[in-house]
Amino acid sequence: MRILFATSEVAPLIKTGGLADVSAALPAALHDLQVDVRILLPGYPQVLSALSNLQTVAEFPALPGFPAARLLADTLPNGVPLWVIECPELYKRGGGAYQNEAGVDWPDNAQRFGLLSRITALLGSAASPLNWHPDVVHCNDWQTGLAPVYLHGAAGAAPCVMTVHNLAFQGIFPPKWVADMGLPKECFKLDGVEFYGSLSFMKAGLFYADHITTVSPAYAKEIQTEALGFGLQGLLYQRRDVLTGILNGIDTEEWNPATDPRIVRTYSAYNLNGKSANKRALQRRMQLQLEPETPLFGLVSRFTEQKGLDVVLEIAPQLAALPAQLVLLGSGDEKMQHAASQLARDYPGQIGVQIGFNETLSHMIEAGADIFLMPSRFEPCGLNQLYSQRYGTPPLVHATGGLIDTVVDCNKYTLMRGSASGFVFKQMDAATLLDTVVRAIETYHDIEAWHNLQLNCMRKDSGWRRSAAAYLEIYARVMKQRAGAA
Ligand code: ADP
Ligand code: GLC
């Protein structure tokens, strides 16, 4: 089976969040299942400079509405082939994948990700300049959402699967881009790419894809409701027969406390002794008091409302008074960054804050914290709760999306049955979060219960095998449908 996996980020080359982790680990898992999977990614400077063996394999001189581009090929260290779109006019600049240095979206993002979509579709149809033709095109999030439109009706087009990683980001642009990027004007309608008078990349993908997946079964249901459908719940409900929730897995080599080079002492479910050295190292790194018994809460996140960081900031003074310690790593909303930094100044030795993106510190927090905080308002899947489970750091989460599907609330019954794997609260407010923090601390001080909880977490199988097999079933299904229709 040949799969073209189109995405706007791949770890460790370029990463703003979980999409990058999934775009690295899922293709690797498919590759292990003998699937011929190839990744397609824009050639941001970070990507071009990280790859040393790039070879030109095709030129795209005059795609309607886009500057000239080239396709370069390399292979990732895990053996997965990667294609990179080189187009200096659109990708060669400072800043990040979606925004400039000041955190403002690039004004030509429609064209930047329109090109990614256009080339995805080209490689997935008879017009491809390559000898390699995919059986299925796999698109991810709005950045590749126009590919299914370009593929629609193209000669020799492969069927396509669209995965929603986060419906909150939709890629909505002025309608002028429809003509400017060579899209047929008939597609700009309610039954098409139009969304309240604008062009929506996400809606385009959801409307034209042969199958839609999202990253957890619970989120697949939630996005069909007004509360979490972001205006697309009607379309998603209509297409529910071709909408499947497949839980994300994790890269169990990258996130392995027994071998992790980024932590000061490795450890495993057989011998958890090393965890306390990691707690001490984290306390030292964040200038917290070196108290082995005080419960230490950790958080690694984009600073946004989605992640419930505002509520964490609200309870932080009471949390410190319990007493407990708190470490926050992340960046995003300026006000939240400011408030977090102020907390660190107000509670020296008890609250430590690092603003920014820091891969090493994120591993140190997973290993060194006692409890991982993830009170997201909504969460399509979430990876950090899975990482923290693997590091014997039970997550404390809000009951939403993938968090429902991956964390079993700890109580006497679930502990006795061996299924408890964290702490779950239902009502998203400060009082409930604080109650749950207190509940987690009570369990933390019960040494035997805590040890059992940690072992349940660490023994969970959150690898990709099962989910990669579920994607294979979807690929086979759309191929069969296409063959039947032909
Ligand atoms: P989302 O994709 O919504 O941000 P996920 O939980 O799926 O949430 O994935 C987030 C990923 O990004 C994880 O790998 C997490 O460790 C990483 N991450 C988020 N913020 C930071 C940060 N400030 N520094 C390092 N890694 C981060
Ligand atoms: C998104 C979601 C997150 C998910 C990730 C990878 O960024 O917010 O919940 O884990 O994509 O699918």
Ligand 2 in reach of 406 Cβ (< 6 A): no
C-alpha closest to that of 116 among 153, 53, 71: 71
Indicate whether 309 and 170 sit together in one domain: no
Indicate whether 448 and 469 sit together in one domain: no
Ligand that comes closest to the CA of residue 386: 1
Ligand 2 in reach of 71 Cβ (< 6 A): no
For the stretch 285-323, pLDDT in tens is: 999 999 999 999 999 999 999 999 999 999 999 999 999
C-alpha closest to that of 201 among 209, 192, 193, 213: 193
Does residue 62 have a pLDDT over 90? Answer: no
Ligand 1 in reach of 301 Cβ (< 6 A): yes
For the stretch 319-334, pLDDT in tens is: 999 999 999 999 999 9
* Cα–Cα distance, 76 to 27 (Å, whole number): 11
* Cα–Cα distance, 68 to 51 (Å, whole number): 21
Indicate whether 184 and 78 sit together in one domain: yes
Q: How many residues does the chain have?
A: 486
Q: What is the pLDDT of residue 352?
A: 98
Amino acid, single-letter form, for residue 466: R
Ligand 2 in reach of 382 Cβ (< 6 A): yes
Q: Is residue 267 part of a domain?
A: no
Asked if residue 391 lies in contact with residue 366, where contact means CB atoms within 8 angstroms, the answer is yes
Does residue 485 have a pLDDT over 90? Answer: no
Q: How far, in Å, from the CA of 174 to the mean position of ligand 2?
A: 26
Q: What is the pLDDT of residue 61?
A: 84
Nearest-atom index, ligand 2, CA of 402: 9
Percent of the chain residues past pLDDT 70, beyond the cut: 100
| Confidence at 96, pLDDT banded by 50, 70, 90 | very high
Which DSSP category does 41 fall into? E
Q: What is the pLDDT of residue 486?
A: 67
Does residue 217 have a pLDDT over 90? Answer: yes
- Of all protein residues, the one whose alpha carbon is nearest to atom 5 of ligand 2 is 18
For the stretch 28-56, pLDDT in tens is: 999 999 999 999 999 999 999 999 999 99
Any idea what the Cα angle at residue 395 is, between residues 392 and 397, rounded to 5°? 170
* Cα–Cα distance, 385 to 366 (Å, whole number): 9
| Confidence at 124, pLDDT banded by 50, 70, 90 | very high
401 by Cβ neighbours in 10 Å (0-12 / 13-18 / 19+) ranks as: buried
Indicate whether 428 and 320 sit together in one domain: yes
Indicate whether 216 and 341 sit together in one domain: no
Percent of the chain residues past pLDDT 90, beyond the cut: 98
Name the residue range of residue 289's domain.
Answer: 274-458
Indicate whether 189 and 238 sit together in one domain: yes
Ligand 1 in reach of 216 Cβ (< 6 A): no
Ligand that comes closest to the CA of residue 22: 2
Ligand that comes closest to the CA of residue 246: 2
Kindly report the CATH number assigned to the domain that includes residue 313: 3.40.50.2000
Q: Is residue 191 part of a domain?
A: yes
Ligand 2 in reach of 17 Cβ (< 6 A): yes
Ligand 2 in reach of 405 Cβ (< 6 A): no
Ligand 1 in reach of 304 Cβ (< 6 A): no
